[in-house]
Structure 1
């Protein structure tokens, strides 16, 4: 009888120990993944190609592995090594192992906004991306003629990526590489330049690359939507008559280290981009044009203008004859000089009042 009691007691004790141990393990499954005493959030960076052991090392460095064995069990159960997504993630130290790994598997990471406005050239876009911490300018510039990225444009005659980085608001994670970011911008361009636009370019006797180049000139010539169609018409008419395009922005693009002061010498110095000395379009686009400029280049207004001059307020005045154009140039140069004189006098008066006060 005593032996039976001893056996029964031993079995009962064993059962209680197993139950307690199992209960403790279950308890650990629902405890925060982070080490006790740590609070706040942890930022994890998982670039494409990172191994699961490297992800685990990040978590260890962030003191997130308070129960390594539980972590291993959950990772195997969820097949985390095969399912974790690339990205930038913010996880709370209060989360359990299930919650942290589940978040990485779902792949809903942090994405940062960057806006590329119309009219920027490749170098300016690269510099803008650097200011947003998406890589260094030099890294982007090294990819400007990358064959694999050029192939993504779908344009065999494309010499560089200039013009193909479509101006738009993008959302990227910090782990995306410059190559991936450029590919996304090229993809957006391809989505925008539709088959209908390519067919329209053919109607006008232009290749897609020529249409893009013309649109980039229109983009740089004016920021006024209402003038773009007329400016595009001027360049179409000049190309048809085999006249020089005479576009200042193309000249500026071809000047290394341009300091903002366009001189007569610049206009007379031959470069591949000087449309005062070379007929036809420049060899490449000079910036990334927006949708309005692309549309204007392919659907110019039906006018016979050959010339235009800036009024100084953002708009332009157009003419069909050189004689009228010269009159417009003389008049608006005079207007600008008067405006500068008035501004200078106002500055002198302001300085005088400041001294006398």
Structure 2
């Protein structure tokens, strides 16, 4: 009799254990296949709540706790069991991850293992200034800000730059993650600029009026501000190269504008007559620093001036320029521009 009761008890325990195991497995299965942030078969994730930030050094336990706190998952233990079973939880990469509607926790886990972080873009425009770049970095989404209170002099020292920071960063579209900072971005941009300038300098033309890579950078920044047309860059470079050789002043408006504090967009004769270190109407040679961030194309153009004879140019009013060899022809081109503007009014 006792043996019979014992067998029944053991059988009951086995049945209850099997039922319990089945319940646990069903909870595990449902938790691992349930869409993130929603009931089985639907999702409630929406823009603004669909990004998971994983700090550097985060454990799977900390990540699962954050997901549960935000309501993305209902229980932590299924994810912890899954990570233990896989044995690769220590390989999770830091960064921001997109929790896509319809995905389950296994898909998110795999993204974290593969490091499929959200990639963001920063567009640095040709001809913009260092001040413009700093504003863009401050406004960039999810870019760590580390330079508040850091002076330009200190930043230049940290970047290994002697003197002005103007012109020292190459315009382009750059990609970054939440693990990047404003400093790492500036370091990357400066490295790209240095590479482009060194490469162009090694392949420079002979018989140039400039004698150092930094002078090439200054000239490239002026070319960048004078034209947006690729076919004009070498022509304008040629004009400036010949003027420098002849000892003529460059007389280029963008340099004057750069030296005007709080320029309102309207350059006047008074501006052209007011002497500043950047006024190439009152001073010979190049200005002391670049006046903008030049593109690689402008850097190459500065070191490959065309072999023409023009010494002057003036805007045509439609984006291009008229190039002339004599001052008399230049005055005529200026008068034609004035007449065209008057006719358009």
Normalising TM by the smaller chain, what interval?
A: 0.7 to 0.9
> Structure 2, unaligned stretches of length 5 or more?
none
Map of 2:119 onto structure 1: 111
User: After superposition, what is the alpha-carbon deviation per residue over 1:19-70, rounded to whole angstroms, capped at 9, x for unaligned?
Assistant: 3333333333322365765833342343653634664453233113422222
Map of 2:159 onto structure 1: 150
8 Å CA contact retained: 1:48, 1:86: yes
Q: Does 1:49 align with 2:48?
A: no
Distance in 1 (alpha carbons) for counterparts of 2:212 and 2:158: 20
Map of 1:11 onto structure 2: 10
Map of 1:177 onto structure 2: 181
Distance in 2 (alpha carbons) for counterparts of 1:260 and 1:138: 32
How far 1:259 sits from its partner (Å)?
Answer: 0.2
User: After superposition, what is the alpha-carbon deviation per residue over 1:244-297, rounded to whole angstroms, capped at 9, x for unaligned?
Assistant: 222111111121211001122222223222222333222222222223222211
117-126 or 37-46, which deviates more:
37-46
User: After superposition, what is the alpha-carbon deviation per residue over 1:215-263, rounded to whole angstroms, capped at 9, x for unaligned?
Assistant: 1110100122222111001111122233322211111112121100112
How far 1:98 sits from its partner (Å)?
Answer: 3.0
8 Å CA contact retained: 2:143, 2:180: no
8 Å CA contact retained: 1:126, 1:140: no
Please give the secondary structure, in 1, of the residue aligned with 2:279: coil
Distance in 2 (alpha carbons) for counterparts of 1:177 and 1:28: 41
8 Å CA contact retained: 2:311, 2:325: yes
Alpha carbons of structure 1 residues 85 and 193: separation in structure 2 relative to 1, 3 Å: farther
Alpha carbons of structure 1 residues 54 and 25: separation in structure 2 relative to 1, 3 Å: closer
Please give the secondary structure, in 2, of the residue aligned with 1:245: coil
Could you tell me which of 228, 233, 257 is aligned with 1:228?
Answer: 233
Alpha carbons of structure 1 residues 209 and 10: separation in structure 2 relative to 1, 3 Å: farther
Q: Does 1:280 align with 2:285?
A: yes
Distance in 1 (alpha carbons) for counterparts of 2:144 and 2:288: 27
Distance in 1 (alpha carbons) for counterparts of 2:149 and 2:263: 18
Map of 1:245 onto structure 2: 250
- Aligned ranges 1:299-338 → 2 under 5 Å: 299-336=304-341, 338=342
Aligned-residue CA RMSD in angstroms?
A: 3.3
Map of 1:24 onto structure 2: 23
Map of 1:219 onto structure 2: 224
Q: Does 1:73 align with 2:70?
A: no
Alpha carbons of structure 1 residues 183 and 231: separation in structure 2 relative to 1, 3 Å: same
User: After superposition, what is the alpha-carbon deviation per residue over 1:60-113, rounded to whole angstroms, capped at 9, x for unaligned?
Assistant: 331134222223333445566642223322214754443322222222132234
8 Å CA contact retained: 1:46, 1:175: no
Please give the secondary structure, in 2, of the residue aligned with 1:66: coil
Please give the secondary structure, in 1, of the residue aligned with 2:314: strand
Alpha carbons of structure 1 residues 80 and 208: separation in structure 2 relative to 1, 3 Å: farther
Alpha carbons of structure 1 residues 233 and 93: separation in structure 2 relative to 1, 3 Å: closer
253-262 or 265-274, which deviates more:
265-274
User: After superposition, what is the alpha-carbon deviation per residue over 1:193-225, rounded to whole angstroms, capped at 9, x for unaligned?
Assistant: 463x12134954533222222111101001222
Q: Does 1:39 align with 2:43?
A: yes
Distance in 1 (alpha carbons) for counterparts of 2:173 and 2:149: 21
8 Å CA contact retained: 2:147, 2:183: no
Q: Which structure dedicates a bigger proportion of its chain to helix?
A: 1
In the superposition, the TM-score normalised over structure 2's length comes to: 0.81
Distance in 2 (alpha carbons) for counterparts of 1:276 and 1:283: 14
Q: Does 1:199 align with 2:199?
A: no
Alpha carbons of structure 1 residues 168 and 94: separation in structure 2 relative to 1, 3 Å: same
Distance in 2 (alpha carbons) for counterparts of 1:194 and 1:12: 82
8 Å CA contact retained: 1:149, 1:183: no
